[in-house]
Amino acid sequence: MTTTPTTRIVLAARPHGEPTDDDFRTETVDTPEPGEGQLLLRTLHLSLDPYMRGRMSDAESYADPTPIDGVMPGGTVGEVVTSNADGYSPGDVVVAYGGWQTHSVVPAKHVRRIDPGVAPVSTALGVLGMPGFTAYAGMAAIGRPQAGETVVVAAAAGPVGSAVGQIARQRGARAVGIAGGPRKLEMLRELGFDAVVDHRSETFADDLAAAVPSGVDVYFENVGGRVTREVWRHLNLYARIPVCGLVSGYNATSLPQGPDRVPALMSSILTKSLTLRGFIQTEFVPTHHDDFLREMGAWVADGTVGYHEDVVEGLENAPRAFVGMLRGENLGKLVVKVADQA
């Protein structure tokens, strides 16, 4: 064992509703040596994403739950400290799945080297990482926006939503972003969205109607709830709905009250010939990831696609920042800066 200490944040309890401080525990342990084919990484940046709330639950889902006392999962950008794998050397910067900890030991086959000269390395967790690819794959495989169409995206000020709108514009479509509050709306305007709508406004329904005079051809679903109900009224014939997330219900502890809306939902899917498709970005890695790196990389490099990072300093602040993200407090991609690059 090495004498290098690792500070890590583990799941102490499964939250009921919104996570609290008691659901996390910070520990310091010895860092193991990497085995054959493995790398020891020093974490530089940690990604915080909504899917982590689902991993805190033991309900059936597309991924196994994080075990109690297990390290909270998360994408990371790390610097290689020790390499027991061909092709990697100390000082290399890679994107990995190291979790909420200062050091991690990972199989080399599960990392991807980053060129710090292309863009800030933290973008490998955002616009050039999983969130950017989620937007790209959902649009390419399901949304398929065409020139002249209208694309509406919920949670548009987040890393997925902001990329969706900009991809729509690259395809010649009109991008309408839904977000909460003037700060987020201003960011979307700066990123080139054609129209923005504040879901917190008392006139949200009327504002949305005014923003989509020709209806909605693609609705990229990130939220659910009231936002979805209002957008649904404007869906055009043959509209496509990639379902990426339903963040409005992630902290829910029971089913929503009200009438059974499933019959009306099924009727509208039938009568409007809608395509409603849930997806997890990993299913599209074999078919779309190379195109994503090439195309999105070029757009970011030449400034065609912009991004915003909300950076929190220090691993110890990850739980607070995570809860704030679920409340919608972050602007753009939420990243925890854990350490400086050597």
Q: Give the chain's domain count.
A: 2
Question: Would you state the pLDDT for residue 2?
Answer: 47
Considering only residues 317 and 16, tell me which one the structure prediction assigns the higher pLDDT. 317
Please check the confidence at residue 1 and state whether its pLDDT lies above 50. Answer: no
Q: Cα-flanking dihedrals φ and ψ of residue 317, to 5°?
A: -95, 5
User: Quick one: 187 and 142 in the same domain?
Assistant: yes
Phi-psi region of 215 (alpha: psi -120 to 50; beta: other; left: phi over 0): left
Within a domain: 296: no
Answer yes or no: is 299 within a domain: no
**41, 94 in Cβ contact below 8 A?**
yes
pLDDT of 281 over the 70 cut: yes
Q: Report how far residue 198's alpha carbon sits from residue 258's, in angstroms, rounded to the nearest whole number.
A: 25
Calculate the CA 206 to chain-centre distance: 29
User: Which of the pair, 152 or 257, is modelled with greater confidence?
Assistant: 152
- Mean pLDDT across the chain: 93
**CA pair distance 293, 95, nearest whole angstrom:** 14
Nearest to 156 by CA among 187, 180, 178: 178
If asked whether residues 111 and 172 sit together in one domain, one would say: no
Residue 342 covered by a domain = no
Q: Are 67 and 87 in contact (CB under 8 A)?
A: no
- The model's pLDDT over 79-107, given as tens digits with 9 standing for 90+, comes to 999 999 999 999 999 999 999 999 999 99
Per-residue pLDDT at 58 = 87
Q: Are residues 100 and 152 in the same domain?
A: no
As a whole-number percent, the residues of the chain with pLDDT over 90 amount to 83
Q: Identify the pLDDT of residue 256.
A: 66
332 part of a folded domain? yes
**pLDDT at residue 314 tops 80:** yes
- Specify the CATH number for the domain of residue 244: 3.40.50.720
Q: What is the pLDDT of residue 341?
A: 87
CA 83 to chain CA centroid, nearest Å: 29
Give this prediction's pTM.
0.88
Question: What mean pLDDT comes out for the span 59-64?
Answer: 79
Answer yes or no: is pLDDT of 35 > 90.
yes
Mark whether 113 and 161 lie in a shared domain: no
Number of Cα atoms under 13 Å in the Cβ half of residue 64: 5
Residues 241 and 193 in one domain: yes
N-to-C CA span, the chain:
23
- Examine the domain organization and report whether 321 and 247 are in the same domain: no
Pairwise CA distance, residues 295 & 339, whole Å: 30
Number of residues that make up the chain:
342
Q: Are residues 135 and 268 in the same domain?
A: yes
Which residue bears the tokens 């925890």?
Answer: 336
Higher pLDDT, 176 or 1: 176
| Residue 119 shares a structural domain with residue 98 | yes
CA distance 140 to 290: 13
Q: Pairing mode, if any, of strands 235-243 and 275-278?
A: parallel
CA distances from 198 to 45, 111, 195, 247 (A): 31, 38, 10, 17
One domain, residues 163 and 278: yes
Mean pLDDT for the stretch of residues 16-28: 94
Q: Which of 49-63, 150-164, 241-255, 279-293 is predicted with the least confidence, judged by mean pLDDT?
A: 241-255
Place of tokens 């401080």: 21
Q: Residue range 188-199: average pLDDT?
A: 97
Say if 294 falls within a structural domain: no
DSSP state of 10: E
Q: What is the CATH number of the domain that holds 51?
A: 3.90.180.10
Question: What's the pLDDT score for residue 206?
Answer: 98
Mean pLDDT of the region 209-224: 96
Domain identity same for 34 and 104:
yes
Three-state DSSP class for 86? Answer: coil
- DSSP one-letter string for 15-73: -SSS--GGGEEEEEEEPPPP-TTEEEEEEEEEE--THHHHHTS-S--SSPPPPTTSBPP
Nearest to 158 by CA among 328, 337, 19: 328
Flag whether 75 is in a domain. yes
Residues sharing a CB contact under 8 Å with residue 293, sequence separation 6 or more, in sequence order: 128
Residue ranges making up the domain that contains 317 = 5-123+308-337
Span 163-172, average pLDDT: 98
Residue 190: inside a domain, yes or no? yes
Report d(CA 175, CA 165) in Å as an integer. 5
Q: Assess whether 153 and 216 both reside in one domain.
A: yes
pLDDT of residue 255: 58
Alpha-carbon distance 338 to 92, whole Å? 17
Residues 193 and 80 in one domain: no
